[in-house]
Amino acid sequence: MKLNLAQWGNTLHSGEKTYPIVQQRKRWFMVSAVLIAASIAVLLINQLNPGIDFAGGTEFRVADTANPDIAIATQVVAEVAPDEVPRVTVLGDNDIRVQIGVVDTETARTLTTDLAAGYDVAEESVSFTQIGPTWGAEVGKKAVQGLVIFLVLVSIVMALYFRAWRMAAAALIALAHDLIFTVGVYALVGFEVTPASVIGFLTILGYSLYDTVVVFDKVRENTANLTSQHRYTYDELANLAVNQTLVRSINTSVVALLPVSAILFIGSFLLGAGTLKDIALALFIGMAVGTYSSIFVATPAEVALRDTEAKIKAHTAQVLALRASGDTDVAISETGEVRVGAVDRGRHQGTAAQPKRKNRKA
């Protein structure tokens, strides 16, 4: 049977159908914990592969060579600078990039001449760039500072916008989840960490935050009049918000991932290593895991934090007590899933409305 996405989205938004995402948060937390632990383990074993912008070094580029054989560059470096271990990459169809550590100017000039001779190109076709270790360390320091400033500003804006520090804390948990996982993938595949990668990291954090804010905004709307009704708990109304924004999150992610995957393919397989490859991998992994975290990490974490509040605990106990006594018209499925009715357009805007069925026992 063909899936009707529009109908599926309507049933999720109205509450006729819900998935117990928040109620099963321990399962998602366990999945995320495994992903984070695996990412940290990969980082400890493989470590990141910093580019010369961060580690310092010398980079040579041989343009328009008729024979892009990396063995030629490896042999040239072995003869001129035997202590260096070169990283040789083919860029596109006929360009060669050679990266080694910091060498003196005379050695760099000798390598330039020998590379030109080895690849049978004019010496003007070989360029080199040197970045000292001090400059590289400063670039890395600035990148970390930018990330810290970003997270601090996000915390302040989230707390002021939602007027709830728990939402800000949950958003930061989701952001940390996305960042650690993406960095772990970088360490696993061995891609270089370049300034383009850092830009990609900051971009995915913004993307993940945007998706999380949309879900949190719906949570706030659904729970605006929480204590004025005793039919649904905070957990259930927050879960309704996740379900109501589920289709939107999936559609937005698919639309965003399609062009990014195309850029990643072109950068990796057609043009070789470069800025496109560095930033596209960060964007692709980050957007995918950001969608996951906005659904399965951010809101469940926020609910877990809110459930520690005395007011929320008391309200939940009252709802469950009324439900146990049968003095409620909440529909409960055979699996125990609470079915929230269509959103009330009347007195309690944003909370659940009168469901279509009476209470039935599992």
- Is there a single domain that holds both residue 113 and residue 145? no
Q: In the chain, how many domains are there?
A: 2
Q: What is the pTM of this model?
A: 0.75
- Which pLDDT belongs to residue 40? 94
Q: Find the CATH number of the domain harbouring 273.
A: 1.20.1640.10
pLDDT digits (tens, 9 = 90+) for 55-114: 778 888 988 888 888 888 899 899 888 888 888 888 777 888 888 888 888 888 899 999
Which of 87, 104, 131 represents a domain boundary (last residue)?
131
pLDDT digits (tens, 9 = 90+) for 248-291: 888 888 888 888 888 777 766 666 555 667 777 788 888 888 88
| Three-class SS state of 127 | strand
- Is there a single domain that holds both residue 213 and residue 291? yes
Neighbours of 150 (CB within 10 A): 16
In a domain, 320, yes or no: no
- Is there a single domain that holds both residue 29 and residue 127? no
Q: Find the CATH number of the domain harbouring 116.
A: 3.30.70
- Is there a single domain that holds both residue 101 and residue 27? no
Which of 108, 131, 154 represents a domain boundary (last residue)?
131
Which of 73, 97, 131 represents a domain boundary (last residue)?
131
- Is there a single domain that holds both residue 32 and residue 154? yes
| Three-class SS state of 199 | helix
Burial of 237 (0-12, 13-18, 19+ CB in 10 A): buried
In a domain, 323, yes or no: no
- Which pLDDT belongs to residue 359? 45
- Is there a single domain that holds both residue 63 and residue 209? no
DSSP string, 36-96: HHHHHHHHHHT--EE-HHHH-EEEEEE-S-S---HHHHHHHHHHH-TT---EEEEETTTEE
CB-CB contact of 18 with 24 (8 Å) = no
- Is there a single domain that holds both residue 81 and residue 188? no
Give CA–CA dist 327/329, Å, rounded.
7
- Is there a single domain that holds both residue 102 and residue 228? no
- Is there a single domain that holds both residue 208 and residue 77? no
Q: Strand order of the sheet with strand 95-100?
A: 87-91, 95-100, 57-62, 126-131
- H-only helix segments in the chain: 5-14, 25-45, 52-55, 70-80, 105-118, 133-162, 165-189, 195-222, 234-244, 246-265, 275-293, 299-306, 310-325
282 token code pair: 């960060």
The whole domain housing 104 covers 57-131
Instruction: Give one word for 56, left, alpha or beta, with left for phi > 0 and alpha for psi -120 to 50.
Output: left
